Amino acid sequence: MRSGARWLPLGILAGLVCALTTKDTWPVRFTNIAAKAGLDGTNVSGGVTNKKYILEMNGSGVAFLDYNRDGYVDLFVVNGTMIESPPGTAEPVSHLYRNNGDGTFKDVTREAGLAYSGWGQGACVADFDNDGYDDLFVTYYGKNRLYHNNGNGTFTETAAHAGVAGADGRWNSGCAFLDYDRDGKVDLFVANYVDLGPDFVNVPKPGSGEFCQYKGIPIACGPRGLPAAVNYLYHNNGDGTFSDVSARAGIRNTEGHYALGVLTFDYDNDGWPDIYVACDSAASILYHNQRDGTFHDVGVPSGLAYNEDGEAQAGMGVAALDYDHDGFLDVVKTNFSDDSPNLYHNNGDGTFSDRVFQAGLGRLRNFLGWGVIAADFDNDGWSDIFMVNGHLTPEIDTAKSDAAYRQRKLLYHNLRDGSFADVTLVSGPDLAGLHSSRGAAAADLNNDGRLTVVVNELHEKPSLLAPDGPAPNHWIGVQLMGTKSNRDGIGARVEVESGALRQIDEVRSGGSYLSQSDLRLHFGLGAATRADRVTVRWPSGTVDTVRGVPADRYIVMEEGSRVRKPK
Amino acid sequence: MRLIAGSLLILILVLQGRAQAPSEAEQQYLFYVLPLIERGELANAEERLLSGVQQYPRSAILYNALGIVYHKQSKMDKAADAFRKALGILPSFTAAQLQLASIDQQQGNRTEAAQLFRSAADSTTNFEALATAGLGLADCEDYAGAAGVLERAHALRPRAESVTYNLALAQYKSGTPASALESLQSIAAAERQADVLHLRGKVLEGLGKAEGPDDLTAACRLEPDKEVFCADAALAAIQQERFQDAIAVLEPGLEKSPGSLSLLPLMGLSQFRLGRYRDAISSYTAALEKDSSVDASREGLGFLCYVTGDLEKARVVIEEGLKNPKADFYLAHLEAMVLYRLSPQLRSKALDAVNRALQANGKFPPSYFLRGKIRMDRSDFTGALEDFEHAVELDSSYPLPYYKMAQIYTRQGRRREAEDARRKFSELGNLREEEILLRQTQNVLLPGPR
């Protein structure tokens, strides 16, 4: 762990000098513009009203990427399929939507070469060959797809050639690119959920056992009672191929987890990326990077495996944020209903404390959370938390329990004193709309400092929740361009100082629930019209600093202290 | 227990052998007074009997009759005196023994009553007397003794269903359910008799047979007005985690008695287990409105408010109940849980609450766990470790204390102990909070055995 003085939490000071934003003054209102924007692909995930297998319940993720490098972030929406498609039905495919830069999108799936049908799960983005174009990895129940970006608006599927396709019958879930050995080439981590086996050979029938019931009604079995799968780490060989180093790197030393959401972050500020994996009904995993090409699971001793009492949870989505500005990245994780999410405060000594109740995030307990985004939606310089929710299957509603299949979103505003206020119901009626949501990600679609959230809604068209009106407060966006480090700067730590505000974040592939947010970093500046200093600590070890950056714009920082104008 | 049809005359005349036989004149006198008793002319009967015992001072049957008249007038002390006088004259006078035993039993003198019932049974072969003695012994909770006496009555009249039922009940209560089942099998048309079905259900349950709950449910369906039948049927369903079935048997009963204190908490518990929290809160609220002194209803409501995140309401509900100094320990434990979660500023109050809970019940491991957590938050690691260790001493299958112990050992640099604690934690397995709370609370919230 790096030595160095721990920052004083600004929350205390801020609480004294700042008038806290309340529900009455929360400035952001979202509208679901999906239909207007042209996002018309409907999610498919097995039976609409009746689900026989757990595979039909988990839904899929979403990914933002600027695939054509036109400066506008585009959108990839992962799709599933049916166990048995009715005759004459078109095979469902995932969708790539090109951002037209005017609030609309065009479905370019087929022309981009991405029309593929299967049990799509998650997606993560990185420029794995450092050619300047972001590539796309999509996980499946079955063989994964690695889409190499040809730089001309099309992709070529190379998973088998690259050695990351995996095998039939494997249930790959969350994924993230990371440069775990800091060699300048991004590697790939792929979580796996349940070992269903090919053709679901390992799965009993709904209602057939202890783990096939929910509140007295028979539902699809699992994950408990089903064999757990194992996670994979692929090392980037630098020639378009990867090597499976899972065993050698210690990834296989953990067993019996049902892994879903993946978060890469440097939790101990040692400059090496660690991997946190949200696990369902089992201990979550924190792979601590040993800096020698291996990882060691410190989930339990760190406090990130369970809730504060040591109780198992059903982890789904996960995000990192420094919610109290103490210079260490904290973790927020969504969980099952009849439970609370986690807000793990990073104690700065390798351990975390779950402060979900102190923070006011533990009160609503009938939400089943999936995607989670930590971002500063009101640009006040403090990260807020957005969660999307929904229950497993429509059959849940027959139980007449308080936990409904369709649930609203949750938006929590950071009150700067270690606590959050639920501002969902004052953030526009579309946030209160009822859906069974799964993957979620955020991006600045118009490069104007306003973050839009896309949500993959089970059996529906996606929601595209865009903020109304101009951006509140000031902000800056930071895009990284690695030279010695990987091209996207994945794993780079960026610190922005403006007045008393001192914020950190990292460029991150994957995250949330099987999803990918904008690779560019977004920082709110509150009333400040410039960032006094922007510091980038690159995975290569290089540190670049720029001073006096005017607000309300994106800057591109190239490794080696060059600042470019964004496209 | 079913009451057997008896007759005053029989009770008066049940005598043991010739040695007890009264004189013809005494009998004449008694037959002269009996119609007055039967017509309810008790003052007149009392007057005649008082003059009778003056005339026949060694007449056991007249003193016995006088006792009956006093008894009917609720002059219990005088009645007991009269029966004692009868027994002083004729110690093995079965009728007087039964009458006096009955008064002793009513006045809470169970030991004396049981002795008299036993003695009466030993000194008679009369069916009615045996049936009454058996019933009396059962009322005195001498179920084995009752079973023995009732078996004799049953042998005399195998078709007397009331005696057979009582015999089976006594056998069940004395811990011989197999004999009880055998006795019940001799009752014809059991399927149409709710009390027989109910007992058979309990007996089958006691024998671990799966059909038990079906009989309990059938009894409830036959007589939904009888709360105990429906409550037992619901309880059996709850214990088998068949919560929909529990609700199905409770609903008709609650339609007939919407404020039933034996049904509402079971309904609340079933609704809770099915995730119907709002309904469960309504059920527990209704129970509490009916009788605000019942801790179980308050605990159910407080717990539900806690698990649904309405901590402020939980606090109000629980603290209202804690105004009663005799409140159940679990209410104080719940208060501590709520305060702990409500705000870090309330940790001192949470500590007070959990201390009160532990004072009232020092055998509840979750209270030690909770106090350990509070002590840990205050950096009182020694105290916290003591509590966690105490919790696992009381319940060696309780994993969570080991998790917290490992955290303390890690902070203290006691690496090996931390690893040991973590290993034990892993070995014991882990459950979700919902499952752990259910385990901890279900037994607390379930009504006791009937």
Question: What pLDDT does residue A567 have?
Answer: 64
Mutate to test the interface with A, among B430, B436, B437 (most CBs of A within 10 A): B430
| Distance (Å) from the alpha carbon of A544 to chain B's nearest alpha carbon | 36
For residue A383, pLDDT beyond 70? yes
Q: What is the CATH number of the domain that holds B377?
A: 1.25.40.10
Please provide the average confidence, as pLDDT, over all residues in chain A: 93
pLDDT tens figures, B318-376: 999 999 999 999 999 999 999 999 999 999 999 999 999 999 999 999 999 999 999 99
pLDDT tens figures, A438-481: 999 999 999 999 999 999 999 999 999 999 999 999 999 999 99
To which residue do tokens 């952001």 refer?
A: A28
| B404 near A CB under 8 A | yes
Mutate to test the interface with A, among B346, B417, B432 (most CBs of A within 10 A): B432
Question: What pLDDT does residue B1 have?
Answer: 62
> Is A109 in a helix, a strand, or coil?
helix
| B343 near A CB under 8 A | yes
For residue A9, pLDDT beyond 60? no
Exposed/middle/buried for residue A310 (C-beta within 10 Å: 0-12, 13-18, 19+): buried
Task: Tell me the sheet residues that pair with A536.
Answer: A494, A544
Q: Answer whether residue B269 is part of any domain.
A: no
For residue A387, pLDDT beyond 70? yes
Question: What pLDDT does residue A431 have?
Answer: 97
> Is A112 in a helix, a strand, or coil?
helix
Mutate to test the interface with B, among A402, A407, A410, A422 (most CBs of B within 10 A): A402
pLDDT tens figures, A477-494: 999 999 999 999 999 999
pLDDT tens figures, A192-233: 999 988 778 778 888 787 788 888 788 999 999 999 999 999
Q: Residue A10's pLDDT band (boundaries 50, 70, 90)?
A: very low
Report residue B219 as tokens: 């009894």
| Distance (Å) from the alpha carbon of A207 to chain B's nearest alpha carbon | 13
Contact call for residues B60 and B76 (beta carbons, < 8 A): no
For residue B296, pLDDT beyond 70? yes
Provide the sign of the torsion angle of the four alpha carbons B399, B404, B407, B413, taken in this order: negative
Longest dimension (CA), chain B: 99
For residue B9, pLDDT beyond 60? no
Q: Checking DSSP bridges between strand A274-282 and strand A259-265, what pairing results, if any? A: antiparallel
Q: Which residues in chain B have Cβ-Cβ distances shorter than 8 Å to A281? A: 432
B431 to A314: CB separation less than 8 angstroms, yes or no: no
Residues 6+ apart with CB under 8 A from A441: A61, A62, A63, A64, A371, A373, A453, A454, A511, A512, A515, A516, A517, A518
Task: Tell me the sheet residues that pair with A562.
Answer: A558
pLDDT tens figures, A281-290: 999 999 999 9
| B307 near A CB under 8 A | yes
Report residue B352 as tokens: 């007070």
For residue B446, pLDDT beyond 80? no
> How far is A503 from A375, CA to CA, in rounded Å?
12
pLDDT tens figures, B81-97: 999 999 999 998 999 99
> How far is A514 from A61, CA to CA, in rounded Å?
5
Q: Answer whether residue B393 is part of any domain.
A: yes
Mutate to test the interface with B, among A342, A352, A357 (most CBs of B within 10 A): A357
> How far is A314 from B241, CA to CA, in rounded Å?
22
Range of the domain at B379: 364-450
Contact call for residues A413 and A384 (beta carbons, < 8 A): yes
A281 to B432: CB separation less than 8 angstroms, yes or no: yes
Q: Answer whether residue B288 is part of any domain.
A: no
Question: What pLDDT does residue A1 have?
Answer: 36
pLDDT tens figures, B388-442: 999 999 999 999 999 999 999 999 999 999 999 999 999 998 777 877 777 777 6
Distance of CA B52 to the CA centre of its chain: 46
First to last CA, chain A: 38
For the segment B48-77, the average pLDDT, to the nearest whole number, is 93
For residue A100, pLDDT beyond 50? yes
Q: Checking DSSP bridges between strand A119-126 and strand A521-526, what pairing results, if any? A: unpaired
For the segment A490-506, the average pLDDT, to the nearest whole number, is 97
Q: Which residues in chain B have Cβ-Cβ distances shorter than 8 Å to A364? A: 309
Query: Which of B274, B278, B431 lies closest to A311 in CB terms?
Result: B431
| Distance (Å) from the alpha carbon of B273 to chain A's nearest alpha carbon | 7
Q: Answer whether residue B178 is part of any domain.
A: no
A215 to B418: CB separation less than 8 angstroms, yes or no: no
| A215 near B CB under 8 A | yes
% pLDDT > 90, chain A: 85
| A210 near B CB under 8 A | no
Query: How many domains does one find in chain B?
Result: 1
Q: Answer whether residue B441 is part of any domain.
A: yes
A400 to B341: CB separation less than 8 angstroms, yes or no: no
> How far is A88 from A93, CA to CA, in rounded Å?
15
More confident residue, A21 or B70: B70
| A357 near B CB under 8 A | yes
Q: Which amino acid is at B159?
A: R
Please write down the HEC assignment for all residues of B160-185.
CHHHHHHHHHHHHHCCCHHHHHHHHC
A313 to B309: CB separation less than 8 angstroms, yes or no: no
Question: What pLDDT does residue B11 have?
Answer: 53
Q: Residue A14's pLDDT band (boundaries 50, 70, 90)?
A: very low
Question: Chain B residue with minimal CA distance to A301?
Answer: B407
Q: Answer whether residue B152 is part of any domain.
A: no
Question: Chain B residue with minimal CA distance to A315?
Answer: B432
Q: Answer whether residue B448 is part of any domain.
A: yes
B406 to A301: CB separation less than 8 angstroms, yes or no: yes
DSSP B23-55: PHHHHHHHHHHHHHHHHT-HHHHHHHHHHHHHH
For the segment A300-326, the average pLDDT, to the nearest whole number, is 96
Q: Answer whether residue B398 is part of any domain.
A: yes
| B412 near A CB under 8 A | no
| B436 near A CB under 8 A | yes
Question: Which own/partner pairs from B447-450 qualify as long-range (CB within 8 Å, at least 24 positions apart)?
Answer: B447/B231, B447/B235, B447/B262, B447/B265, B447/B266, B447/B296, B450/B228, B450/B231, B450/B232
Radius of gyration, alpha carbons of chain B? 30
For residue A13, pLDDT beyond 50? no
Query: Which of B274, B373, B404 lies closest to A399 in CB terms?
Result: B274
For the segment A521-545, the average pLDDT, to the nearest whole number, is 97
Please provide the average confidence, as pLDDT, over all residues in chain B: 90
For residue A12, pLDDT beyond 80? no
